[in-house]
Every structure is written in structure tokens, then in C-alpha cells.
Copies of this chain bind each other. A is one copy, B any other.
Amino acid sequence: MNWVQPKTFTFATPPELFVLESGQRLGPITVTYETYGRLNEARSNAILIAHALTGEQHAAGRHHPSDKVPGWWDELIGPGKPFDTNRFFIICSNVLGGCQGTTGPSSIDPATGRPYGMRFPVYTVRDMVRVQRELIAHLGIDRLLLVAGGSMGGMQVMEWGVTYPELVDGLLPIATCGRMSAMNIAFNEIMRQTIMLDPAWQQGNYEPGKGPAVGLAIARMLGMVTYRSDHVFTERFGRRIMDMRPDVYYRMENRFEIENYLHYQGEKLVKRFDANTYLYLCKAMDLCDIGHGRGGMQAALARIQAHTLFIGVDSDWLYPPSYMIEMAEEMGRLGGRADYWELASPHGHDAFLIEFERMRPVVASFVQRLAAERGCP
């Protein structure tokens, strides 16, 4: 694959503002996105990839020869890979309200010349999807072959199927839900409260680069625990501790290796992520409910026309398989086309970013079936 470059697309330029699900208006909106492969003449080979909470548009390839790691789903996207760039045109955009180039809380509000901060309107997963719809129209695409993603990406996948049933042939929601559970809302609220407790948060009015680093790092530490599994932490870290010398062992600051690992992960996120954006994205997930304003979950699932393959992870306790199995079964009862495949992995929720060997044949076969059904060359 050649070096990839992010591109931008701007719409909803005043006075033509974008009306959010809440009724609030926002504009202009710039979307940062990447594409891999080529759109065919029939425009029938487009696949949209949706990213998770702290993810971004850089899903595959490298920007520079010096990049140490490629995009986050590079193992699945590329020539000969399941999302085969020799056959398909792959799109991934930073979500509305993100902080990797798409308009969000860390963007400059043209009305004030300062970052929006907490003055940014609350947006939803449905809004993210409606912005993606604008992007694909801009790219000349009427209909998607597939929308795929895990976690918050999977919520976008579900919203695509319900909001635009006639515009998508296939859905691949992974380790996700159709409506956020009370427990997951609870974890999000704890993360939000931790960020807002940091004095550097300043009601969201921090200067760029001077945000609530400690609060955001702690939030990420909690996130990381929920994304993995007891089993994997035990295997990898067990009870190993920094210093076993008897005079140091009992000190409050003598960290176990699991603690060091989480602190490292927390600090790593702070370097690349905006704290206000984290608050808004968590709120968007909390508000995720494909049945909201549509007569409930069943009515929402009844709208889906796309062939849907749900993938759950057996060790995922944050978005347990049952969430997806219930949706698949309900779709079946309603006459929809839904399959469920369970990924056996010890890695917990994050398995969709780790278990590429096991996912590859299942994803490839689903993509190929969709392409054959659509007559995509």
C-alpha cells in the first residue's frame, strides 16, 4: 500500500447549519477522513469503517515511512486482506465531536476564536452517522456495501442500519450494543467525574495542551481495566511488584506491575487525546439507544434491511455476547438476516483490536458474500 494521507471535507457552512438530534445547530463541520483502495465505476464497492472511543480515521497503512505502527485495523485492511483494497474502497473518518481532525470540543469556535470546550453541543451516535452520510454523499457514494466497527464503532454500525436501511447492504457490529447498559453508563460517569475533579479541567476552559492530564489518565486507566480481562492481567502481570526488597516492599508507592502498566497507558492517552472530547464521546455512548424516538429496540431492529453479522467476544464483560445474541435473535424473529459469531479469546473487549488471525477468515467470508450478492466485481 502507498502512503496514506488524511483528507478533509467541510460542510454545514453558515448559514446552512447542521441540525443535531437534540435540535441544536452546529457549523461549519469539518470531517477528517482517510480512504484506501479505489471506488469502482458502479460505485458499489464502498465500505465504511467506524472507530471506537479513542480511535481515529487512521485505520490502515502509514502516513510516513518512519511511522512505527500502521493504522489501527491495518491487519484487516489492505491488498488481499478481508477488507481488500484491491477490490474495495474503504473509508474511515474521525467521528463528529472527535479530536483527531473532525469538528469537536477541542476545535476553534468561529464565533469566539477559542476552543468550543463545554460550549460544544451534546451530540449522539446517530449524529455521528448522519455526518458520515454527508461524507459519503460528498464522495459520490449512494449506497455502502458494508459498515463495520467495534465498541463505539459497532454502535455506529447499528445506527447506520436503522437510520439508513436502504443505503447499506451489510452490517458488521463487533463487541457492542444497541443501547448502552446501566453498568456501562456507570463506568462512563465515573470516568467523566474523574476528569472534572482534576483542577486543571477548569470547567473545560483549559488552554490547549494544559488540560486535566491526571484526571484523563485515571479515566483511561479505568477504561483499560474494562477493556481487558482478569485472566489476561493475571497471566501478564500477576502479583509482580516493582521492588521486592523487604524495606521497600510495604511502601505505599511501591507499585505492582499492573499499576505501572495502567499508569503508562493513562499517560500515553493524554498525549494524543482531549479531555473535553472524552466527556462528550462518553455521553454520546450513554445516549446510544437505537430505539430512542423510534418506538423501542424491536421497532428499530425491524427497520434494518442489511445482512448483519454480529461478532461477540466470549471474555468481553463490558459488552457481553448476550447483548449481540439478543439483537441477532430478535432480528431473526422479525424476518431480518442476522448471524452471530463468537470470537473465542481471553483478551476481553479489546479482542477486536487484537485477535486478527481468528477474525480474518470470518470477516473475509462475510465481505465476499456481500460483494457476490451485490454483483460487485
CA distance A222 to B225 in the complex (A): 12
Chain A interface: which size bin?
35 or more
**Which of B190, B222, B250, B258 is close to A287, meaning CB atoms less than 8 Å apart?**
B250
**Copies per complex of this chain:** 2
Listed residue (A22, A118, A239, A287) with the most chain B CB atoms within 10 angstroms of its CB: A239
User: A23 near B: Cβ within 8 Å?
Assistant: yes
Encoded as 1 (CB less than 8 Å from any B CB) or 0, chain A from 199 to 243 comes to 100000000000000110010011001000110011011110000
- Chain B residues with CB under 8 Å of A262's CB are 186, 189-190
Instruction: Decide if A197 touches B182 in the complex (CB within 8 Å).
Output: no
Encoded as 1 (CB less than 8 Å from any B CB) or 0, chain A from 119 to 140 comes to 0011010000000000000000
Instruction: Decide if A279 touches B258 in the complex (CB within 8 Å).
Output: no
User: A256 near B: Cβ within 8 Å?
Assistant: yes
- Chain B residues with CB under 8 Å of A251's CB are 122
CA distance A211 to B207 in the complex (A): 29
Closest to A283 in B: B252
User: A180 near B: Cβ within 8 Å?
Assistant: yes
| A-B residue pairs in contact (CB < 8 Å), sample of 7 | A181-B234, A186-B233, A186-B258, A189-B255, A197-B215, A250-B287, A252-B279
Which A residues fall within an 8 A CB radius of B? 21-24, 118, 121-122, 124, 179-183, 185-187, 189-190, 193-194, 197-199, 214-215, 218, 221-222, 225, 229-230, 233-234, 236-239, 246-247, 249-252, 255-259, 262, 279-280, 283, 286-287, 289, 317, 320
